Amino acid sequence: MQSFDQDIVRRIRERSADMERRGELDDWLLEKIYDEKLFKLFVPSELNGLGSSLPEALRAFERMSWIDGSLGWLVTIGSGGGFFAAALPERRAAELFSGRKAVLAGSGMPTGKARKVEGGYRVTGSWAYCSGATFATFFTANCKIEGTGEELVRSFAFLPRQVQIAKDWNPLGLRATASHSIEVRDAYVPEDMTFDLTAEPRLNDPIYRYSFLAFAQTSFAAASVGVGRHFLEECAEFAASKAPEWKETSPRRLAALESAVAERLGILEAASDRFYELAESSWDTFVREGTLPEEVWREIGRRSQEAAAAARSGSDAVFPLLGMTALRHDHALCRTWRDLHTVTQHSVLLPENEE
């Protein structure tokens, strides 16, 4: 991430509104992601990946999300596909993950159907919210297996030529993530392009044995913290720009905005510190012992949700103090607020009684 210096951050943010209008990242920004191997954080080094630890990756997710919400979300989701490098057979994993631009898009929802045939399966289905669909080099999705008499679910890898992309992503925020629906119609998928995520992983690195739920919770929480921090920093800059005028015309409004921003930044930092403290200490324990007590897994989930909630509630507390400027769809205040509420809407970041 060293090449994402302040000049690049400024360039990305200057392009954020246009990328949002187009619904995808600029090509030059994708090239930087490929150069930094940010889609390959969890791909092993022998497949041209970075083989990062979870705490390293969480910091990357936060920084990319702080730069731009859509950028951060695509790095978070795209790199998460590296989990499947340990689930696919060795030869297929090498084919799919070794390339410089290798990145998958897909869905974990079992909204497809697969029928066993000689040498593999025939698959039909559609899946929503496949982030990065327009530049993915392959796709993965879950299907229910027909004709077994059981509720069996298996994961399938598809090549781009087998997939139809419906450009239907029209959300509140994260609009530049190309999170479109995909459809597969009676596609033949050979056995070695399928896998079972509940089976023993082929590789021994701890990341492939980590709880997938906890992985999603921590990853999305880190992204939430990044976008939340960006929003509050934009608010602080907005207050500073208005200070000369408001000190004369609206001193109480200025004081209220400055106080709210400072307070909510403090709350977010405290929640972030608690989140990272546990994420890092529990990761060290997991690497050393190969397991964690159930209460630790639950606490990881709670602190992830608390960090996301601190980001979300902080933005909601400050937003009414920003006036009409924050309602401008192409303004950074509005865009970061919308991105944050889209990230934190994910079900794994919501307490059970709010789902």
Which residue shows structure tokens 């889209």? 342
Instruction: Report whether pLDDT(327) > 70.
Output: yes
Domain with residue 80: its CATH number is: 1.10.540.10
Backbone φ and ψ for 30, nearest 5 degrees, come out as -60, -40
Domain with residue 293: its CATH number is: 1.20.140.10
Tokens read off for 320: 């009414």
Same domain, 215 and 319: yes
Residue 353 confidence (pLDDT) = 42
User: Of the candidates 165, 195, 225, which is a domain's last residue?
Assistant: 195
Backbone φ and ψ for 292, nearest 5 degrees, come out as -135, 150
Tokens read off for 315: 């933005």
Residues 6+ apart with CB under 8 A from 6: none
Q: 94 in a domain, yes or no?
A: no
C-alpha closest to that of 308 among 234, 233, 229: 229
Nearest-angstrom CA–CA distance, 201 and 199: 6
User: Of the candidates 56, 86, 116, which is a domain's last residue?
Assistant: 86
User: Of the candidates 136, 170, 195, which is a domain's last residue?
Assistant: 195
**Taking a C-beta distance cutoff of 8 angstroms, is the pair 188, 117 a contact?**
yes
Tokens read off for 108: 């974990």
| DSSP-assigned beta bridge partners for residue 165 | 182
Strands (E), the chain: 104-117, 120-130, 138-145, 153-158, 164-166, 180-190, 194-195
Instruction: Note the pTM of the prediction, 2 decimals.
Output: 0.96
Can you give the residue range of the structural domain that contains 228? 210-354
Nearest-angstrom CA–CA distance, 232 and 115: 50
Same domain, 318 and 286: yes
Q: 97 in a domain, yes or no?
A: no
Domain with residue 111: its CATH number is: 2.40.110.10
| DSSP-assigned beta bridge partners for residue 164 | 183
SS3 for 228-256, per residue?
Answer: HHHHHHHHHHHHHHHHHHHHHHCHHHHHH
Same domain, 346 and 224: yes
Same domain, 235 and 171: no
Strands (E), 271-333: none
Question: Taking residues 148-168, what's their average pLDDT?
Answer: 94
Torsion 312-308-343-125 (CA) sign: negative
Q: What is the mean pLDDT of the chain?
A: 96
State pLDDT tens for residues 171-229: 999 999 999 999 999 999 999 999 998 899 999 999 999 999 999 999 999 999 999 99
**Taking a C-beta distance cutoff of 8 angstroms, is the pair 20, 335 a contact?**
yes
Neighbour order of strands in the sheet with 194-195? 164-166, 180-190, 120-130, 104-117, 138-145, 153-158, 194-195
Same domain, 231 and 285: yes
State pLDDT tens for residues 92-117: 999 999 999 999 999 999 999 999 99
Same domain, 40 and 138: no
State pLDDT tens for residues 25-74: 999 999 999 999 999 999 999 999 999 999 999 999 999 999 999 999 99
Domain count, the chain: 3
